[in-house]
Amino acid sequence: MRTIAFFNDKGGVGKTSLVFHLAWMYAELGVSVLAADLDPQANLSSMFLNDERMEELWSDDSHRKTIYGAVKPLWAGTGDVEGCYVESISDHLGLVVGDLALAATEEDLSSQWAVCLDRNERAFRVISAFWRVLEGAAEQSQAEIVLIDVGPNLGAINRAALIAAQNVVVPLAPDLFSLQGLKNFGPTLRDWRVGWSDRKSRCPLPNLSIPEGAIRPAGYVVLQHAMRLDRPVQAYEKWIARIPELYREVVLDQHGTADLIGDSDPHRLAMLKHYRSLMPMAQEARKPMFFLKPADGAIGGHAQAVQACFADFRELARRVAASCDVSLPA
């Protein structure tokens, strides 16, 4: 099992859409994939499932079929994490359903992080809860890849989610705010990695499965815009040009490296186009943009855009897999 998180603490950069489309693409390539919604806003789940199905999953007071239901016994003091329900989306694609109730775990995840230094058993159970749930869900669904979606913040829930990730991909928009988020995220990521390395050696439970906490940067994806705030894409070229050096400095902690721009940066996994009206069609059809059909409204120029979108995401899926040491079918 390979766990890959997609994270930028700046919201609105297309992170959830990226996870959604890559999950579908890996399934299309014949890889068993699990999409894990660890964002308390559950946006990823709402992309996969309609309101009626979400209401069914949330109507049970015990939340048995969501991520919160799997960890609830630990927080309620009635036991440890339980086996997590996996919603079947397609033959090769499953979903760990998100839940707004997950926000209730934030405070305890924050306090137990410090208590791990005291070799406290419950503290290690709490901090490793997401990892153990995903580990069990991946085994249950025989998933080779787990794609983790998280919210746009640097809180305790995201720390526990990122620690459960072996790799992290950073989605970026070509603007000032996204790059500022990168400046915030990079040093925090290193702090979490070092902090968990110090803690995990103190775990008093030899048989407890705890994450490695490597959180290895796998690269970044730039989500491009043809027009934004009535300004042409050229207005964002200066931000795109700044990304390679900034990524090296704040995420990889590398300084004084040679200048790289555009396609010459090996850490840039893709620059995705603005697909204009394909996304609204895809949201209406509740399917990825590259699966849109004429019946969904993808005709004429849209049909060509669908084909281009498929090629773009197939290449991105291959580059992410290569960066994360995942073997894909030939």
Q: Could you list the mean pLDDT of each consecutive 10-residue stretch along the chain, which spans 330 residues?
A: 92 88 97 97 96 90 91 94 95 97 96 97 98 97 97 95 97 88 91 96 96 96 63 69 91 76 83 82 91 89 88 96 93
Cα-trace Rg, the chain:
20
Residues with Cβ within 8 Å of residue 270, at least 6 apart in sequence? 221, 222, 312, 315, 316, 319
Question: In this predicted structure, what is the pLDDT of residue 231?
Answer: 47
The C-alpha atoms of residue 252 and residue 187 are separated, in whole angstroms, by 9
Stated pTM of the model: 0.94
Question: In this predicted structure, what is the pLDDT of residue 232?
Answer: 43
Comparing CA positions, the residue from 177, 129, 124, 168 lying closest to residue 150 is: 168
The C-alpha atoms of residue 111 and residue 122 are separated, in whole angstroms, by 11
Give the tokens for residue 178: 């996204």
Helical H segments across 142-260, by residue range: 156-163, 176-200, 237-250
Q: Which long-range contacts (CB under 8 A, 24 or more apart) does 309-313 make?
A: 309/273, 309/275, 309/278, 312/270, 312/272, 312/273, 313/21, 313/22, 313/25, 313/288
Q: Is 57 exposed, middle or buried (0-12, 13-18, 19+ CB in 10 A)?
A: buried
Question: In this predicted structure, what is the pLDDT of residue 163?
Answer: 97
The CA-CA-CA angle for residues 199, 189, 86, to 5°, reads 80
The C-alpha atoms of residue 216 and residue 211 are separated, in whole angstroms, by 13
Domain 2-279 has CATH 3.90.245.10: no
